[in-house]
Amino acid sequence: MADMSARVHALVERIYRDESRRVLATLIRYLGDFDLAEEALHDAFMAAVDQWPREGVPDKPRAWLVSAGRFKAIDRLRRRARFDASQGALAERLDEAPRGMGDPADIEAVEDDRLRLIFTCCHPALPASAQVALTLREICGLTTEQIAHAFLTRPTTVAQRIVRAKAKIRDAGIPYQVPEATELSERLESVLSVIYLVFNEGYVASVGERMTRGELAEEGIRLGRLLLDLLPDPEVMGLLALMLLHEARRVSRTDVAGEPILLRDQDRGLWNRTMIAEGRTLLGRAFASGEVGAYTLQAAIVALHAEAASVEQTDWSRITGLYDVLVQASPSPIIELNRAVAVAMRDGPEAGLALVDALLARGELVDYRLAYAARADLCCRLGDNERARVAYRQALSLSEQLPERAFLERRLAELGDIVASENIVASENIVASETTPPHREEGGAASS
């Protein structure tokens, strides 16, 4: 019995990890309230932990959880009705069969609620920063700390954005639906940004014990495919191409210990050529439209890496030229950093270091660890080990990802500077963020 209970508990934990955001999205649609749906989600999983060991695991666990969550929410509202009559009325309304929404038990027939939820979170009535933060929290389950790290901002700021966004959706009666075609264009930029940030958190986890979170990267790609089916826009094609071309390299980006492997050292034979081919096809369709946006330009850069036999044989002149266009189309200090590394590969480390130092002097990347990692690598290439050690220590002080910290510590050890992890204190000064996700330079010094 104890073994059965342990197995069921492990199953519930796995389902929570893999399915909880899907369940939450459907509960939000049924209940019409973010906070109530989150309470119902946790109530449903607590019920599963209690009942499944005794009653057995249902055939459709996700459907069971949605139904359980809905009934738990109704019970919760009825208890509140003793103090607020309106809660009782709401409970009665929710207890009726949802019209036009299908049976909660028939989850397989329900349209993807996360896509609906993304468009709700990306409503133009919400500030852009709140749109992304809310979607990352509700769709992907990222903590406020993880979102803050991705945005280079403070956790308290992110928390305030999420609370205000929920209140705005509730008070303004923002509908939980995919907008009509005439409204899609004004919402598209934020939705694309959200999807790429979901992918990016999977491609390079901001914190934790793993460098990558494959489930988030796959989720970003899945959402990109859904959006492309809904809206065959050139920039949607460009974003999906970008994600596929990145994801094609995932298995080659870490060693057996989970530490990053730099691009120049990766086994290109492990790259997923099917994904690369699909990405290049989408990229061709995007360029053929004549409307070339920032995601399409980034995808074109990654495609040049994908077709090169080695770092040395990569067309760095074309990559630098694409970055020149990208900086104009989507100004960003992070993109400028990526361009600086490309310039270093084309013109030599001294040229790249001058650009990196100029960026750091401006102050916009003073707390961005990859800027210091890039500077350290360029100093190493110039034989300036002392300045490299200083830069690596700065990068290490800002890193919250264990594999990345191990990598940086190993670099310092190779330079004769052994730093104990527990003595490194991360900086508390976080600079203001972009609304677009950070794009990492594929050939860069710190890149993997």
Contacts of residue 17, Cβ cutoff 8 Å, sequence gap at least 6: 215
User: In this predicted structure, which of 29-43, 181-195, 232-246, 429-443 has the lowest mean pLDDT?
Assistant: 429-443
Q: Rounded distance, CA 152 to CA 370, Å?
A: 12
Q: Which residue has the higher pLDDT, 71 or 91?
A: 71
Grade residue 433 by pLDDT with cuts at 50, 70 and 90: very low
Q: Is residue 264 part of a domain?
A: no
Can you tell me whether residue 103 is helix, strand or coil? coil
Question: Is residue 74 scored above 70 in pLDDT?
Answer: yes
Question: Is residue 401 scored above 60 in pLDDT?
Answer: yes
Grade residue 213 by pLDDT with cuts at 50, 70 and 90: confident
Helix ranges (H only) for 231-332 are 234-247, 273-288, 294-307, 316-329
Grade residue 86 by pLDDT with cuts at 50, 70 and 90: low
Tell which of 155, 180, 203 closes a domain.
203
Contact indicator for 385, 379 with CB cutoff of 8 Å = yes
Contact indicator for 9, 49 with CB cutoff of 8 Å = yes
CATH number at residue 341: 1.25.40.10
pLDDT of res. 30? 84
Contact indicator for 144, 129 with CB cutoff of 8 Å = no
Question: Is residue 392 scored above 80 in pLDDT?
Answer: yes
Cross-strand bridge partners of residue 400: 207
Q: To 10 degrees, the CA torsion angle through 196, 199, 202, 203?
A: -80
Q: Rounded distance, CA 380 to CA 382, Å?
A: 5
Q: Rounded distance, CA 385 to CA 182, Å?
A: 57
Determine whether 86 is exposed, middle or buried from the number of CB atoms within 10 Å of its CB (0-12, 13-18, 19+).
Answer: exposed
Q: Across the chain, what does the average pLDDT equal?
A: 83
Contacts of residue 364, Cβ cutoff 8 Å, sequence gap at least 6: 333, 431
pLDDT of res. 442? 39
Question: Same domain, yes or no, for 53 and 77?
Answer: yes
pLDDT of res. 108? 46
Question: Same domain, yes or no, for 413 and 356?
Answer: yes
Question: Same domain, yes or no, for 124 and 63?
Answer: no
Question: Same domain, yes or no, for 179 and 142?
Answer: yes
Grade residue 197 by pLDDT with cuts at 50, 70 and 90: confident
Cα-based distances in Å from 285 to 223, 299, 326, 337: 19, 12, 19, 28
Question: Same domain, yes or no, for 13 and 37?
Answer: yes
Q: Rounded distance, CA 143 to CA 148, Å?
A: 9
Question: Same domain, yes or no, for 14 and 95?
Answer: yes
- In one-letter notation, the amino acid at residue 263 is L
Q: What is the DSSP string of 246-275?
A: HHTTGGGSB-TTS-B--GGGS-GGGS-HHH
pLDDT of res. 432? 26
Structural tokens at position 51: 């009942």
Q: Is residue 446 part of a domain?
A: no
Q: Is residue 76 part of a domain?
A: yes
Question: Same domain, yes or no, for 80 and 133?
Answer: no
Cα-based distances in Å from 3 to 6, 10, 53, 164: 5, 11, 10, 45
pLDDT of res. 82? 64
Mark 106-145 as b/e (b = at least 16 C-beta within 10 Å): ebeebebbbbbbbbbbbbeebeebbbbbbbbbbbbebebe
- In one-letter notation, the amino acid at residue 118 is I
- In one-letter notation, the amino acid at residue 447 is S
Q: Is residue 120 part of a domain?
A: yes
Question: Same domain, yes or no, for 89 and 24?
Answer: yes
Q: Rounded distance, CA 121 to CA 17, Å?
A: 22
pLDDT of res. 412? 93
Question: Is residue 309 scored above 70 in pLDDT?
Answer: yes
Structural tokens at position 122: 């990306």
Helix (H) or strand (E) holding 208: strand 207-208
Question: Is residue 105 scored above 50 in pLDDT?
Answer: no
Tell which of 142, 176, 203 closes a domain.
203
Question: Same domain, yes or no, for 333 and 419?
Answer: yes
Q: Is pTM, for the whole model, over 0.75? A: no
Tell which of 55, 81, 101 closes a domain.
101
**Count of the separate structural domains present in the chain:** 3
Can you tell me whether residue 173 is helix, strand or coil? coil
Question: Is residue 15 scored above 80 in pLDDT?
Answer: yes
pLDDT of res. 436? 36
Question: Same domain, yes or no, for 82 and 135?
Answer: no
Segment 218-226 shows an average pLDDT of 88
Q: Rounded distance, CA 442 to CA 253, Å?
A: 11
Task: Residue 381: give the domain boundaries.
Answer: 325-423
Evaluate the CA torsion angle 123, 127, 128, 134 in order and state its sign: negative
Question: Same domain, yes or no, for 117 and 196?
Answer: yes
Question: Same domain, yes or no, for 184 and 161?
Answer: yes
Question: Is residue 79 scored above 80 in pLDDT?
Answer: no
Q: Is residue 291 part of a domain?
A: no
Structural tokens at position 6: 């342990």
Q: Is residue 160 part of a domain?
A: yes
**22 closest CA partner among 231, 215, 250:** 215
Q: Is residue 278 part of a domain?
A: no
Phi (first) and psi of residue 174, to 5 degrees: -65, 125
Q: Is residue 196 part of a domain?
A: yes
Q: Rounded distance, CA 390 to CA 42, Å?
A: 46
